[in-house]
Amino acid sequence: MERSARPRRSLRALLAPATDNWLSRGYLAAVTASIGFFLYAVHLSPDPGFAAIWPMITTAPFGMAALLLAAPLPGAEWLSSVVFTVGAAAAGLVNATLLGLLVRRLGTPQPRPAAH
């Protein structure tokens, strides 16, 4: 059991900056809303238009890769929306983690040497 617990702890430690501050949480909420709007527009709306633009903008620059990976496959067009959704969610997690690391770095005062 120790082997299975180790990757879980390391993944949790890796993604901790994505959820341990309000800025990253707010960003993840915006990503979730944009992906939710995309899924609504593609599957329930009569005219989806440019629905993919919102998740792509909120998860840029890594969200661009999700759009490139989601090229329509002949005979499996439904798969492209799944790939795009998963890719945008992963890009949002990467961005939120990087944002959380930046918040940690800027929020922690550096120790100064004592003056003699």
Q: Measured between alpha carbons, how far is 35 from 87 in angstroms, rounded to an integer?
A: 11
**What is the pLDDT, as a whole number, of residue 116?**
65
pTM equals 0.79
**What is the pLDDT, as a whole number, of residue 11?**
79
Q: Measured between alpha carbons, how far is 74 from 77 in angstroms, rounded to an integer?
A: 7
Alpha-carbon torsion angle 19, 21, 23, 27, nearest 10: 10
Q: 19 near 100, Cβ under 8 Å? A: yes
DSSP-derived 3-state class of residue 102: helix
**Which amino acid is residue 23, in one-letter code?**
L
Distances (CA, A) of 37 to 54, 65, 93: 8, 19, 18
What is the mean pLDDT for each group of 10 consecutive residues in the chain (116 residues)?
Answer: 63 85 95 95 88 92 83 73 91 94 83 69
Q: Around Cβ 22, how many Cβ atoms within 10 Å? A: 8
**What is the pLDDT, as a whole number, of residue 81?**
86
**What is the pLDDT, as a whole number, of residue 107?**
81
**What is the pLDDT, as a whole number, of residue 80?**
83
Q: Exposure string (b/e) for 50-74, b if CB count within 10 Å is 16 or more?
A: ebbebbbebbeebbeebbeebeeee
**What is the pLDDT, as a whole number, of residue 68?**
81
Annotated domain spans of the chain:
13-103
